[in-house]
Amino acid sequence: MLNIGIRVDGSANIGMGHIMRCLSLAKGFRNAGANVFFLSRFEQGISRIRQDEFEVIEMPHREGRHSEGFFYGDISELGEDAKEIICQIKALNLDVLIIDSYNVSREFFLKLKPHVKKLCYIDDVNKFVYPVDVLLNGNITATAFNYTKFSSDELMLLGLKYNLIRDEFKDLPGRIINRDVQEILITTGGADPFNLSLRLADIILSEEEFKDIRINIVVGSGFTNVDNLRELCGKNTNVILHENVSRMSELMLKSDIAISAGGSTLYELCACGTPTLAIVIADNQREMVDMMSSEGYIISLGWHEELSDRELLQKIKLLCGDYNKRASLSRKMQKLVDGEGVRRVVEEIMKIIS
């Protein structure tokens, strides 16, 4: 039986997107008969992994910039992490190690590579030539990155064919678009570090024509502003908080439009055919949101700090009032991702191990 290790973190600072796509992949490996172990730090991510009944080895917390997850460290900072991971590779007898983190360096990978049969990296940004056995990027932007292989036998799994969307978004029915918008979904990722959910809800509530519209707000496990949102709900009966959502697809399907942060949630909204206004909240989301917008899958609202409340309200009103636009977006969105990415990735990795 194969032993798979996944090194990934999730927190209010990092967000939960890395955790969620790794859980999707982990379930694929578990269904294929493999043992899966997570190596992780930070409580929000660890508790979410355990919800899906995977074993978690808690990594020691490190001080300094690299513990925040967004800094490309060098080996002097990542060296202790590498030592700890190598210990776990040996203790768990791992065949495959999958890393999903922006806090990596070339030297870090080179230190790990000799200790495991296959080293895999899940990438979004193509920062350097990754010395790994398998490089996975399931984003719409992946094939435009012109990746360079570290070695001739490196396996590259690139593009939407390998998107790690969860099983619940497979084989969804064609979307029926309501003439009038009755429900708006607000989803700002697993952490909402910029308190966008509250801002968006306030903007919608300020408009008289939206007074009867139901506002569905998804609360992620890394949220720190839940009390403010609960207070808003207490004052407005049409604002509903959805915490610990088990079937996100159902919420997306019942909402007529969505306002969403960039990231993997956009692929889920596409699978559901939910017309979406997307806001960029991190640098690594820019290219993805720009490409999805330019190809007609979503409407980009740009960088969150550059977006005025007035402009945001105008864009929401335009989409709500344009049935034909919503219908055409929805039809196109549902053709983007086929939901078979996890199966394909698992098959490809198991093929090179056997």
- The predicted-structure confidence for 84-126, as pLDDT tens digits, reads as follows 999 999 999 999 999 999 889 999 999 999 999 999 999 999 9
Say if residue 182 is in the same domain as residue 127.
no
Task: Residue 136: name the closest of 48, 18, 16 by CA.
Answer: 18
Domain residues for the domain of 302 are 169-333
| Tens digit of each residue's pLDDT (9 = 90 or more) over 36-80 | 999 999 998 999 999 999 999 999 876 554 444 444 444 567 889
Q: In whole numbers, what is the pLDDT of the chain averaged over residues?
A: 93
Report the DSSP pairing between strands 299-303 and 276-280. Answer: parallel
Domain containing 182 — which CATH number? 3.40.50.2000
Q: Give residue 63's pLDDT.
A: 56
The CATH number given to whatever domain includes residue 131 is: 3.40.50.11190
Looking at the structure, tell me whether residues 139 and 184 fall in a common domain.
no
**253 pLDDT above the threshold of 90:** yes
Phi/psi at 9 (5° precision)? -125, 155
Q: Are strands 155-158 and 55-58 parallel, antiparallel or unpaired?
A: unpaired
Under the banding of pLDDT at 50, 70 and 90, the label for residue 130 is very high
Whether 18 sits among the annotated catalytic residues: the reply is yes
- What's the rounded mean pLDDT across residues 146-160? 96
pLDDT of amino acid 291: 97
3-state SS track over 248-267: HHHHHHHCCEEEEECCCHHH
Give counts: helices (H), strands (E), the chain.
12, 13
Q: Are 66 and 96 within one domain?
A: yes
* pLDDT for 188: 94
pLDDT at site 38: 99
187 bridge partner residues: 218, 260
pTM: 0.92
Looking at the structure of the chain, the number of domains it has is: 2
Element (H, E) at 36: strand 35-40
Do 161 and 173 have their domain in common?
no
DSSP letter, residue 113: G
**181 and 157 within one domain:** no
Q: Is 268 assigned to a binding site?
A: yes
Q: Which pLDDT score, from 0 to 100, does residue 66 have?
A: 45
Catalytic: which of 18, 66, 115, 242? 18
Winning range, highest mean pLDDT, from 13-22, 269-278, 281-290? 269-278
Q: Examine the domain organization and report whether 88 and 206 are in the same domain.
A: no
> CA of 218: how far to CAs of 101, 237, 259, 261, 272, in Å?
24, 16, 11, 12, 16
Residues 155, 131 contacting (CB under 8 angstroms): no
Q: Do 103 and 211 belong together in one domain?
A: no
- Same domain, residue pair 175 and 310: yes
For residues 322 and 345, state if they share a domain: no
Mean pLDDT calculated for residue range 123-151: 96
The whole-angstrom separation of Cα 274 and Cα 149 is 37
How large is the average pLDDT for residues 332-349?
A: 97
Q: Between these two residues, 256 and 222, which has the higher pLDDT value?
A: 256
Binned at pLDDT 50, 70 and 90, residue 224 comes out as: confident
- Residues 33, 60 within the same domain: yes
Does residue 327 sit in the same domain as residue 302? yes
Do 174 and 318 reside in the same domain of the chain? yes
Taking 60 as the threshold, does the pLDDT of residue 210 lie above it?
yes
Q: Which helix (H) or strand (E) holds 98?
A: strand 96-100
Compute the distance between CA of residue 320 and CA of residue 260 in angstroms, rounded to an integer: 15
